Amino acid sequence: ISDQELLELSEQLYAADGNRAAHGDIILDLQHQVTSAEASAGKDYAPQRLFQHVAEARLFSKPTFSGLLALLDNYERMTGHSEVLTAQEEREEEQFLAAVFSTRVMATLTSFFLAKGLYPSADAFRADLKDMWFGLYSRSGGAALDSSGFEHVFHGEIKKGKVSGCHSWVQLYELEKSGQLNYLSYSYDGAWPSFPDVLALQFRWSSYLKSVGSVLLGSSPEFDLALYTLCFKARPDRLCHVSLGGEAARIQTYSWTNSFYGDGQRFVASAYPVSP
């Protein structure tokens, strides 16, 4: 997959994302910007909430958003504690994937992967996406099957006393709304006048600090999943240069190297937009 193909396909995914937030659907109060050197201090510069308004009725009623919301209460955030997948949670994963794969965004990515010969069929790609994102592995040295790529990126985890992952704006909003997230400051606000935008911020989840977290703000769950999957397959473990609405963006993915699935395939370890 060439650099030019990445730029062209990311623009196609961006154009296909009809479920993303529109102007006015999300209103933020960014308050105080910190330098990268100040970010790790964990000082609270923001007395007000980050999310002043989210058009929940319009956005969260859409199948991929409601599917994501159903998944967010399925995870044990502390590493070292095994994830137990119940029959109901398995159904929720399948419902989410069914909703995602019925969107133009994922149809666009699927067609590209099939044309490049990466998969023999759409069903093969869907099965592999589920394995790479939802397959369980251990972030606790084998003590427990306590993590997955999806949990790490879209939900977030607590590891060694700090927040790890947590790169979904929907999860940040839900945590702040429930009183679990204290927004501290931001270090980068992207150049996009519409959604999705890139935001790098500092926050505490309960008492646990995330000194720099970055999200695609206002994007749909299927867009995040498709863009991160594209970069994970095309540029694993390095910067992936994409274009969103004519603006350059960079995605960083990491693959999990301590365990595998299938024929030596690697799970997603992390994926997020990179801020300067």
pLDDT digits (tens, 9 = 90+) for 157-176: 999 999 999 999 999 999 99
* Domain housing 35: 3-273
Asked if residue 135 has pLDDT above 90, the reply is yes
User: In angstroms, how far is CA 271 from the centroid of its own chain?
Assistant: 7
Name the more confident of 36 and 224.
224
**Structural domains counted in the chain:** 1
Confirm if 232 and 255 have CB atoms less than 8 A apart. yes
Contacts 24+ apart (CB under 8 A), 168-172: 168/68, 168/215, 168/221, 168/224, 169/26, 169/199, 169/215, 169/216, 169/217, 169/218, 169/219, 170/65, 170/68, 170/69, 170/72, 170/221, 171/72, 172/50, 172/51, 172/201, 172/203, 172/213, 172/215
Amino acid identity for residue 244 in this structure: L
Q: Kindly report, residue by residue over 231-244, the tens digit of the pLDDT.
A: 999 999 999 999 99
Strands 26-28 and 162-164 turn out to be: unpaired
Q: Which residues are catalytic, by number?
A: 152, 167, 210
CA distance 81 to 118: 35
Q: What confidence score (pLDDT) does residue 36 get?
A: 81
CA distance 132 to 255: 9
Instruction: Give residues with Cβ within 8 angstroms of 57, minimum separation 6.
Output: none
Helices (H), 151-194: 169-177
pTM score of the predicted model: 0.97
Q: Kindly report, residue by residue over 173-211, the tens digit of the pLDDT.
A: 999 999 999 999 999 999 999 999 999 999 999 999 999
Mean pLDDT of 210-214: 94
